[in-house]
Amino acid sequence: MARKKIALIGSGQIGGTLAHLAGLKELGDIVLFDIAEGIPQGKALDIAESSPVDGFDAKLSGANGYEAIAGADVIIVTAGVPRKPGMSRDDLLSINLGVMEQVGAGIKQYAPNAFVICITNPLDAMVWALQKFSGLPANKVVGMAGVLDSARFRYFLAEALNVSVKDVHAMTLGGHGDDMVPLVRHSTVGGIPLPDLVKMGLLSQEKLDAIVERTRKGGGEIVALLKTGSAFYAPAASAIAMAESYLKDQKRILPVAAQLSGQYGLDGTYVGVPVVIGENGVERIFEIEFDEAEKAMFAKSVASVSGLIEACKQIKPSLA
Ligand code: APR
């Protein structure tokens, strides 16, 4: 059987890490694409030269023309400008919307059957625009945010409780902004829901509240530390988990930005919800029952996303 083809549009910090991880996991042959000349070629060659050491077989190449992504099975989009200190994700809107228009056209022409994962921020609005610009079916275009936000939540919980990250399950829904919705009631450690852990005295309410807040601001914490860019290791790992679930038909339940068609009372918008990812892309969307507080948080987060989508429509009336 021929190897799968993974095209990475954007070969910056996340793009390079994606290529390395996809190689190490032998997910397929990898094409790095970027407008910057030499960067995708250089990273492809560097990673290819690591393959004999790590013992993985994958063809890696770099390109500056969209024809190189032809026939890709999976496309992961990181093209755009990352957040700088003091810049909100929303400041990126206008520049990155123009990038999504170019990327969407490239995908439409050369890889209309791909499963597309968008990482470019502001995430929910960018993936919404990318689906429109590319014209691909909504079940094949998703955004990566929830896996990353949930991973941060899980890591902070595991660290606080001094337990394995493997035994911590947590879910963060809604938009990929500071008003995302970490779901405390639906998150568990060793199968025990977080509110019960608090009742058992294993975790204080104050600590849990602080972890929720830190999760919400997780992206900004990294930006403040790095100063020259935003997070890339954990975002790349998160997108690779989504790509792997598609390529191997794992049917994992992952929180991803997916287009809603009636679920959660929303239609057409993209927002983070739990979905099953398998060979058909987004195969099912799980509709969780929220309590009143969760409902209010989700509505607030959706309102932020809707505001960004409206702003996109103002900038590019063809999207309206
Ligand atoms: N087409 C293709 N590539 C582009 C385009 C374009 N029109 N515009 C910019 N790029 C490329 C840049 O040349 C750069 O190599 O996108 C790459 C982005 O890489 P980085 O600046 O290193 O950003 P990265 O940290 O990888 O983050 C990418 O993901 O998390 C989000 O907010 C983040 O939107 C940002 C994206």
- Tell me what pLDDT residue 283 has: 98
Q: Contact 15/6 with Cβ under 8 angstroms?
A: no
Ligand 1 centroid distance, CA of 151 (Å) = 22
Determine if residue 152 is labeled as part of a ligand binding site.
yes
- Tell me what pLDDT residue 106 has: 98
Predicted confidence pLDDT, tens digits, the chain (320 residues): 899 999 999 999 999 999 999 999 999 999 999 999 999 999 999 999 999 999 999 999 999 999 999 999 999 999 998 766 676 656 788 899 999 999 999 999 999 999 999 999 999 999 999 999 999 999 999 999 999 999 999 999 999 999 999 999 999 999 988 889 999 999 999 999 999 999 999 999 999 999 999 999 999 999 999 988 889 999 999 999 999 999 999 999 999 999 999 999 999 999 999 999 999 999 999 999 999 999 999 999 999 999 999 999 998 999 98
Q: Are strands 115-118 and 5-9 parallel, antiparallel or unpaired?
A: unpaired
Ligand 1 centroid distance, CA of 11 (Å) = 7
CA–CA dist 274, 268 (Å, integer)? 16
Determine if residue 15 is labeled as part of a ligand binding site.
yes
- Tell me what pLDDT residue 80 has: 95
Q: Contact 124/84 with Cβ under 8 angstroms?
A: no
Q: Mind listing the pLDDT tens digit for each residue in 116-148?
A: 999 999 999 999 999 999 999 999 999 999 999
**Cα 80-86-92 angle, rounded to 5 deg:** 25
SS3 state at 294: helix
pTM beyond 0.90? yes
- Taken in order 90, 94, 95, 97, the sign of the CA dihedral is positive
Sheet containing 192-193, strands listed edge to edge, beginning at the edge strand earlier in sequence: 168-173, 181-189, 192-193
Select from 215, 211, 216, 186 the least CA-distant residue to 304.
Answer: 216
- Tell me what pLDDT residue 83 has: 67
CA–CA dist 157, 268 (Å, integer)? 34
Determine if residue 119 is labeled as part of a ligand binding site.
yes
**Closest CA to ligand 1's atom 28:** 78
Backbone angles phi, psi at 233, to 5 degrees: -65, -55
Ligand 1 centroid distance, CA of 94 (Å) = 14
Atom of ligand 1 nearest to the CA of 79: 16
What amino acid positions are annotated as catalytic residues?
A: 176
Atom of ligand 1 nearest to the CA of 231: 25
Determine if residue 250 is labeled as part of a ligand binding site.
no
Which residues of 104-227 form beta strands (DSSP E)?
115-118, 141-143, 168-173, 181-189, 192-193
Ligand 1 centroid distance, CA of 175 (Å) = 20
- Tell me what pLDDT residue 153 has: 98
CA–CA dist 261, 76 (Å, integer)? 23
- Tell me what pLDDT residue 178 has: 85
- Using CB distances shorter than 6 Å, the residues near ligand 1 are 9-15, 34-36, 39, 78-80, 82-83, 96, 99, 102, 119-121, 229-230, 232, 235
- Tell me what pLDDT residue 88 has: 66
